[in-house]
Chains A and B, each alone.
Chain A
Amino acid sequence: MIKRIIILSLIITSGLFGLANDQIRFVGVGKQVVKVGERFRVVYEINQDANNFRSPNFGSLQVLSGPSSSSNSSIQYVNGKMTQSYAMKYTYIVQAVKVGEVVISPATVTVDRKQTKSNTIKIKVVKGATTKQSNSSQNKKPANSGVLQDDDVYIKAFVSNASPYIGQQVILTYKIYTKVPVSNLMVKKLSSFQGFWSKNLLSENQQYKQKTEIINGEEYIVAEINKFAVFPQKTGKLVIEPTEMECTVQLKVQNTRRRGHDPFEDFFNDPFFNRNVKNINTIIKSNPVIINVSPLPQKGKPDGFDGAVGDFRLSSRIDRTTLTANDALTITLTLSGKGNLELIELPELKFPSDFESFDPKITSNIKTSSSGISGKKKFEYLAIPRNGGDFEILPITLSYFNTITKSYHSISSEKYEIHVTKGDITSNGISYSSSAQEDIRFIGKDIHHIKILPFNYKRQGEFLFLSNTFFLFIILPIVIMIILLLVITQLRKRKSNVGLMKNRKANKVAKSKLKVAAKYKNDGDDKAYYDEIAQALWGYIVDKFSLTQSELSIETVADILKAKDIENAVTENFINTLNNIEFARFAPGDASSKMEAIYNEAVTAIIEAEKELR
């Protein structure tokens, strides 16, 4: 009773003094629905000066900080009416850990030595993005209920083709759907395109184009936030992880506490003053995308197919086909079309080995439009022929798989015949002596090729060594040599016998000749006489030393006699006799006494020589 009186008197006094301390209100506010891991505030507010705040039981929620208390009071005079308000806040920051419903027990404070309890707060903790949709359908509430609903804002991923071939271009689009104003859209985690080659199709800082769509009877603002051209690089089921974005959602808040309390408050709660708009930072996730990549058909797969998928054209151009050595030559190959152009490498254009060639200069002009990647890729080959001659540059062939016709196509460049005239190196003043010679580079290694006929055959296991033939060829030379030795010694013997005979006969022949000479002397035929004596002496020498007539001269006779170790006196005598005879032969008409002397001289010479030679 006393209490009531006190309260009543308080009301009266406050009414009297314009104080609005009507009654104690102690309210706890928290989010109704939170996601696991989300941090949020739980605020207890009391409109009286209170103390002895006792924390509630947060159940499975984790208290990160708090309670932090703050108080504010204000006195307003509006149209002569004074409004005084006082508020004390106890704020907790908590985090949801488990899925489920959490009931936070009331907190208590002591006001004027009286314990006051707050309300209990029920919080529903939900899982992440996947359960969002189902949740959202269950508890559909007006968007501006002060709590962010799952279907208020979400991202959805679309693919142009969920079952492409390997290497085929797939357009992946992320769209944001929102019912509430969204700002500060920021990528938190981008999808990782594992197993894909990707290319962003939207340029940076591009303005999002907004459209409105009606989904389930509700109006959404839709914008493409990201668009990629992805090229699967392996076959099988590939999953593109969801993309995560962070954004600030502006929610209108119904200020239940003050609504209806003061008609003017509505004015101040106007969005213009931004008082009843709550900014909520939230993370939105897209759905994961599953792509079934099928391999390219094996049938008709050309050799040298290098994974090009799309639709391509190849054109080639050469700047000249006739040039002088050491001038440069440019061949431009242009690959154009739709598909994974950036991934395509043209087969290497092979120049003749006499050309100095360089790596091609590649210029890409690739357009990324919302329909995918297309464009041109230019390969500029520069080559310098170093020597004259006629050369051929073989075309290159690129094979690709056309996803529309579902078949393989081959495109080729042109074949060029190049005529190089031998340039005058010295007139250019450029010497390529260093580059003219280069080391041979080995590209591969292989065994040498097989041998061709003729072969040298032999019987297996048959060897010459220690065979009959071997022994035969050992004995054969010995036998031949023995025979040869025998024959040669025999011949030698016979030859020496002939000489001996002549030797023996020499004296006799000489003597018989001298006898004939004596007869001529008596006849007085002095020419025949000298001839005969000369023949007797010369013949003796010839027979004795096995000489031929042609070798005969005084000098050779002297040499031979000296060589035979004959006494000098004898030799001189012999030579003198020969000289005298020759002299007498060509100067005849002398007395017979001289003829007699010469005859005696010749006889003595032969006898002495015979004595010495024996």
Chain B
Amino acid sequence: MLGVTIFAVNSDSLVVIANNAYNQGLYDSALVTYGRVINKGVESGELYYNMGNAYYKNNDIASAILYFEKASMILPNDEDVKYNLNIANSMIVDKIEKVPELFYHHWWNSIYNIMAADAWAIFALVSFSFLILSIGLFILSKKRGNRKLSFYIGMLFLIITIASSALASQKYYLNIEHKEAIVFISSITVKSSPTLNSVDLFVIHDGTKVEIIDRIDSWVEIKIQNGSTGWLPKKSIREI
């Protein structure tokens, strides 16, 4: 924690310089300076958001989307991030109709997006502490009513703990494994198998978000939001 604080002091001065450059319309130099902060090994949702803005103003929509997506990993509930990501997505070529989600999947996702990975982990820990507390109360209380109450409260916290741990782990693995990516080539053909001479399936354009299903050598199997899958060269995408 201390290490991060020290980083923050140095980073803040860089961020101030970069923000000033952005305000003067010098988006390239702002990006370079933001990049120096990233190179220090720290990350921040706000930082990614600002970088996304600078890329957007530089008309590099694919990069802007990548950084807005990164920001939204850390700040899933930030209104600015959501808004700008929406605007950037409205500028890309591909308009992919989302497959309608099943209702429970939709609920799960909407809960899932309330908090970032760490926040869910903290939530799970807090809920776990309450679970332990209600177990203690259950053991200690002698009256029947109190025992009953603490049992039910304990059960509730058990469910919350399991659910939030599941969410935290899902987010964690999403972050660790980079399961989402943005297409960075202005127009690329998705192939039916990881070879160049396989059948062309469909064409996607830069800025489109894809889900990575599998990786073989320099190829990745991707899935776009309408459910279609296919293979792309690894270098045509950048992971979020």
Which A positions have Cβ atoms within 8 angstroms of B?
A: 445-461, 463-466, 470, 473-474, 477-478, 480-481, 484-485, 488-489
Contact = CB atoms under 8 A, between A and B. Distances in A.
B167 to A, nearest CB: 10
B45 A459 contact: no
A470 B83 CA distance: 33
B56 A457 contact: no
B44 A464 contact: no
Contacts of A485: 136, 139-140
Nearest to B135: A481
Contact of A463 (B46, B121, B136): B121
A458 B4 contact: yes
A563 to B, nearest CB: 16
A448 B83 contact: yes
Contacts, number: 109
B222 to A, nearest CB: 23
A455 B44 CA distance: 7
A459 B4 contact: yes
Given A458-B43, A465-B118, A452 B53 contact: no
The SS class assigned to the B binding surface is: helix
A477 B8 contact: no
B112 interface: no
B128 interface: yes
A369 to B, nearest CB: 50
B53 A463 contact: no
Nearest to B3: A459
Given A452-B19, A457-B8, A464-B118, 16 more contacts: A447-B57, A450-B50, A453-B15, A455-B15, A455-B44, A456-B74, A457-B11, A459-B41, A460-B43, A463-B172, A463-B175, A464-B168, A466-B172, A470-B121, A473-B125, A474-B128
Interface in B138-184: 139-140, 168-169, 171-172, 175-176
A480 B129 CA distance: 10
A461 B168 CA distance: 14
A458 B70 CA distance: 14
Interface in B43-93: 43-47, 49-50, 53-54, 56-57, 74, 80, 83-84, 87-88
B44 A453 contact: no
A386 to B, nearest CB: 31
Nearest to B53: A450
Given A447-B53, A448-B84, A485-B140, A457 B117 contact: no
6 contacts: A452-B19, A455-B8, A459-B4, A461-B175, A474-B128, A488-B140
Given A453-B16, A477-B133, A465 B42 contact: no
Interface of B: 3-4, 7-8, 11-12, 15-16, 19, 22, 38, 41-47, 49-50, 53-54, 56-57, 74, 80, 83-84, 87-88, 117-118, 120-122, 125, 128-129, 132-133, 135-136, 139-140, 168-169, 171-172, 175-176
B42 A458 contact: yes
Contacts of B19: 450, 452
Contacts of A454: 12
Contacts of B44: 455-458
Contacts of B84: 447-448
Given A447-B88, A463-B172, A464-B122, A456 B53 contact: no
A455 B128 contact: no
A453 B14 CA distance: 11
Given A451-B46, A456-B44, A458-B42, A465 B169 contact: yes
Contacts of A453: 12, 15-16
Contacts of B172: 463, 465-466
Which of A445, A455, A463, A466 is packed against the most chain B CB atoms within 10 Å? A455
Given A455-B11, A481-B136, A464 B117 contact: yes
Contact of B136 (A457, A458, A460, A484): A484
A453 B7 CA distance: 14
Nearest to B83: A448
A466 B118 CA distance: 10
B91 to A, nearest CB: 10
Nearest to B13: A453
B168 A465 contact: yes
B80 A448 contact: yes
A460 B45 CA distance: 11
A449 B12 CA distance: 18
A464 B15 CA distance: 25
B125 A457 contact: no
B42 A457 contact: yes
A-B pairs with lowest CB-CB distance, top 3: A464-B121, A451-B46, A465-B121
A455 to B, nearest CB: 4
Contact of B132 (A448, A457, A470, A477): A477
B132 A481 contact: yes
B147 to A, nearest CB: 15
Contacts of A481: 132-133, 135-136
A460 B88 CA distance: 25
A477 B128 contact: yes
Contacts of B16: 453
B128 A451 contact: no
B19 to A, nearest CB: 6
Contacts of A461: 175-176
Contacts of B135: 481
B53 A474 contact: no
A477 B4 contact: no
Nearest to A446: B87
Given A447-B53, A451-B49, A465-B121, A460 B80 contact: no
B46 to A, nearest CB: 4
B80 A455 contact: no
Contacts of B80: 448, 451
A452 B44 CA distance: 12
B52 to A, nearest CB: 8
B87 A445 contact: yes
